[in-house]
Amino acid sequence: MIVAFDLEGTLVDGELFPAIGEELGIGRQLEALTAQAMDGRIDYASSVIRRVDLITGTSIDRIKEISRSIPLQRGAYETVDTVKSLGAHPVIITGGFAELADRVAERLGIDYVACNRLITEDGVVTGVQTPILTGEDKRDRLIALSKWLGVPLGRCAAIGDGSNDVLMLRAAGLGIGFGDRECIQGLDHIVKTGNLADAVPLLWTHLTKQKWVESPAQT
């Protein structure tokens, strides 16, 4: 079984680009582009390129330092530990960047991360690696991972908060929207409390049900 987590606004309480913007004095521009992308008002790949253009020339060490200021979401440890205790694979599939995603994965003990990556030269940001991981790509990464591990999509779950998560959430056997953005309100399951642990009962029911369904075939 696989549980795919979005990163910013889901596993962590915040967004990297707005945090960088505050440090660089361009917070309004970066926050507006981030919000428009997460709400689905502008194309995600284009928004990433525009945001990276605004931070070009910034020290990568400074960006890594800023990433360390973004806290884990309430309930993140509990939720990931529950997933592991049920014998499932927690993974991160995000349109965010490695400077934050890899740090969070290490803290939570998550082995698989799919994310975007900055290009650097002489220690400063010069661009973004392409192709950029979009909502369609997040869905496709989950599908590819399920095939690689031999896990049917019906045995997968996914949690996310933005428009670029919706396709992944709908592809999984259980898709959980996290937060109150309009773009996720059509999902069957939504957690609006700001505590990721409140998704645990949904995950528990789904993952244990899948185990029960499989058990007769294993005897």
Q: What is the pLDDT of residue 196?
A: 97
Region 168-195 average pLDDT: 91
Residues 6+ apart with CB under 8 A from 158: 3, 4, 5, 6, 93, 142, 165, 168, 169, 171, 172, 174, 175, 176
Q: What is the pLDDT of residue 213?
A: 45
Q: What is the rounded average pLDDT for all residues in the chain?
A: 90
- pLDDT tens digits for 88-111? 999 999 999 999 999 999 999 999
Q: What is the pLDDT of residue 216?
A: 43
The encoded tokens of residue 216 equal 């007769």
Residue 161 has pLDDT above 80, yes or no: yes
CA distances from 147 to 1, 2, 84, 142, 152 (A): 11, 11, 20, 9, 7
Kindly report the number of other CB atoms within 10 A of residue 100's CB atom.
27
The encoded tokens of residue 15 equal 């967004």
Residue 219 has pLDDT above 60, yes or no: no
Cis omega (within 30 of 0) on the bond before 131? yes
Q: What is the pLDDT of residue 127?
A: 96
Q: Band of the pLDDT at 217, cuts 50, 70, 90?
A: very low
Q: What is the pLDDT of residue 44?
A: 83
Q: What domains does the chain contain, in order, with CATH numbers? A: 2-13+72-119+129-214 (3.40.50.1000)
Distance, CA of 143 to CA of 123 (rounded, Å): 35
Region 61-80 average pLDDT: 96
